[in-house]
């Protein structure tokens, strides 16, 4: 039996458990989850800061959030969302879906709730295959510390939790409030305010539109070039921020907007793996995590893998493919190239990105690359690829979103076959 530790019971951890539990004669999984329930970031709470046990609030969800992907693309392969739901759904619907997924595949029994993983350390490094020492504590009583030994570790700790805060000149003198989108919950505190949202990725755009209903004025500040879509009348697009003054924000190019009440940093999140010991030899430099083959398998310790590091993806189908590769490496059904060849492959992928003009910090951004990647993983593990209908619908919505930000979530879709989808009323 191969003992596998899964860290986190969000979508990635549940997917890992679903596949591990499908091979009960091969794998003996234990999942450690610091909270009391499954679902990870989809567990919305009004709270910010810390919870009743002093743990930082994990979820980055806000009220009124509707998914930015249609449920028909979002679903794990073989486990569709409830047909009665519209295509773009609330966080509560996603949470219920994940709970149903966990029940359907009977994985709850493998989860140790309220257990925070403090340390993961490779041991027996001189042997052919290392073992992993996992130390965890009960968040309700931190003196309860335990250690267990595993043959493999699958890290599914989520990557939308620790805010990436840019250093902006004048932050210390600005008199308005500054919050990160991680701590944004609902628009009412911003009523009648003049607000700047910095960053025009999914959350920045969404929060700017939600705030426009109550705020007097919203400036959406970003460095993304021209945004094609129409925005509400009181949302004005601005260049990135140059600096802050006591009451105003100066944008690149010198334009200044005065009497700004709030600045919301929709500037993304950092990768953090606080539990990995130095012996794990994982490096994070400007949001590039190395040494990871195919963005997930540690090339020095292939029994240590990471699910969902990639960004700009269709997460659940993507996790479904990655998990299968992680398991195939653990049970030996797939033989990896040599460490040297894996490192070369990783480096070639990264260099190609830089040559294409992508910034360093986009080392794990997939976007249109994700579908070939999924197909490649499917071929390696000899599993069904993601159906073309799923990727075509995802791509269709991405185009619609870029030109029709105010209305794209009002549409509904059905998958009509493995290669086809239709918009429906
Ligand atoms: P998470 O859901 O973050 O789960 C990680 C789990 O690990 C948590 O339960 C956490 O408690 C646990 N954990 C972390 N550290 C430890 C530790 N040391 N010990 C024990 N447990 C630990 N995706 C979509 O498909 N569609 C969308 O529309 C969409 N919208 C999004 C909107 C927002 C605002 C955000 C933040 C994300 C959105 N996503 C969306 C992406 C979403 O993150 C993924 O869908 C997916 O839920 C990520 O799952 P995960 O398992 O990787 O991480």
Q: What is the mean pLDDT of each run of 10 residues along the chain (425 residues)?
A: 98 98 98 98 97 96 97 98 98 98 98 98 84 98 97 98 97 98 98 98 96 98 90 97 98 97 98 98 97 98 98 98 98 97 98 97 97 98 97 97 96 97 95
**CB of 157 closer than 6 A to ligand 1?**
yes
**CB of 58 closer than 6 A to ligand 1?**
yes
- Residue 310's SS3 state is coil
How far away, in angstroms, is 336 Cα from ligand 1 center? 28
d(CA 395, CA 367): 9
- Residue 363's SS3 state is coil
How far away, in angstroms, is 166 Cα from ligand 1 center? 22
pLDDT value, residue 341? 98
Tell me how far CA of residue 399 lies from CA of 228, 354, 418, in angstroms: 11, 24, 21
How far away, in angstroms, is 32 Cα from ligand 1 center? 15
Tell me how far CA of residue 244 lies from CA of 240, 241, 250, in angstroms: 12, 8, 6
- Residue 13's SS3 state is helix
Contact 208, 220 (CB under 8 A): yes
d(CA 116, CA 162): 16
**CB of 315 closer than 6 A to ligand 1?**
yes
The closest-lying atom of ligand 1 relative to the alpha carbon of residue 315 is 25
Q: Whole-angstrom distance between the N-terminal and C-terminal Cα of the chain? A: 51
The closest-lying atom of ligand 1 relative to the alpha carbon of residue 275 is 18
How far away, in angstroms, is 8 Cα from ligand 1 center? 9
pTM for this entry: 0.97
**CB of 69 closer than 6 A to ligand 1?**
yes
Contact 141, 115 (CB under 8 A): no
Q: Which DSSP string do the residues of 195-230 spell out, in sequence order?
A: EEEE--SHHHHHHHHHHTTTSSEEEEE-SS----S-
What are the residues facing 269 on neighbouring strands?
A: 163
**CB of 163 closer than 6 A to ligand 1?**
no
How far away, in angstroms, is 42 Cα from ligand 1 center? 7
How far away, in angstroms, is 240 Cα from ligand 1 center? 28
Contact 9, 159 (CB under 8 A): no
What are the residues facing 148 on neighbouring strands?
A: 134
Pocket test of ligand 1: the residue of 39, 315, 386, 398 to mutate, having most ligand atoms within 8 Å of its CB, is 315
């Amino acid at each position: 039996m191969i003992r596998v530790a899964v860290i986190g019971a969000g979508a990635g951890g549940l997917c890992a458990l679903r596949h591990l539990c499908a091979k009960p004669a091969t794998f003996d999984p234990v999942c450690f989850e610091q909270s009391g329930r499954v679902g990870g970031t989809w567990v919305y709470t009004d709270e910010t800061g810390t919870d009743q046990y002093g743990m930082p609030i994990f979820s980055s969800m806000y009220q009124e959030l509707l998914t930015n992907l249609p449920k028909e693309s979002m679903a794990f392969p073989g486990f569709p969302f409830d047909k009665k739901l519209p295509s773009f759904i609330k966080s509560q619907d996603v949470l219920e879906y994940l709970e149903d997924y966990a029940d359907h595949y009977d994985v709850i029994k493998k989860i140790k709730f309220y257990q925070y993983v403090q340390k993961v350390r490779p041991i027996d490094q001189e042997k052919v295959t290392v073992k992993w020492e996992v130390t965890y504590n009960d968040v309700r009583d931190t003196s309860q510390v335990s250690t267990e030994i595993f043959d493999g570790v699958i890290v599914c700790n989520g990557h939308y939790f620790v805010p990436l805060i840019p250093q902006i000149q004048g932050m210390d003198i600005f008199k308005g409030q500054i919050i990160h989108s991680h701590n944004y919950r609902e628009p009412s505190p911003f009523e009648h305010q003049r607000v700047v949202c910095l960053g025009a990725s999914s959350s920045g755009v969404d929060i700017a539109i939600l705030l426009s209903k109550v705020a007097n004025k919203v400036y959406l500040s970003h460095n993304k070039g021209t945004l094609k879509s129409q925005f509400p009348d009181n949302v004005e697009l601005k260049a990135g921020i140059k600096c802050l003054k006591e009451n105003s924000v100066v944008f690149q190019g010198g334009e200044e907007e005065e009497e700004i009440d709030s600045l919301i940093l929709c500037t993304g999140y950092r990768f953090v793996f606080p539990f990995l010991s130095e012996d794990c030899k994982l490096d994070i430099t400007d949001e590039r995590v190395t040494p990871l083959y195919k963005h997930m398998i540690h090339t020095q310790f292939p029994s240590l893998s990471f699910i969902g590091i990639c960004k700009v993806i269709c997460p659940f189908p993507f996790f479904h493919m990655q998990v299968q590769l992680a398991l195939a490496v653990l049970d030996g059904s797939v033989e990896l190239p040599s460490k040297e060849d894996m490192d070369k492959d990783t480096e070639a992928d990264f260099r190609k990105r830089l040559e294409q003009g992508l910034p360093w910090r986009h080392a794990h951004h997939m976007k249109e690359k994700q579908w070939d990647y999924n197909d490649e993983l499917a071929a390696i593990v000899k599993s069904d690829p993601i159906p073309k209908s799923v990727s075509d619908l995802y791509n269709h919505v991405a185009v619609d979103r870029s030109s029709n930000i105010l209305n794209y979530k009002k549409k509904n879709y059905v998958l009509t076959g493995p290669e086809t989808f239709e918009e429906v009323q």
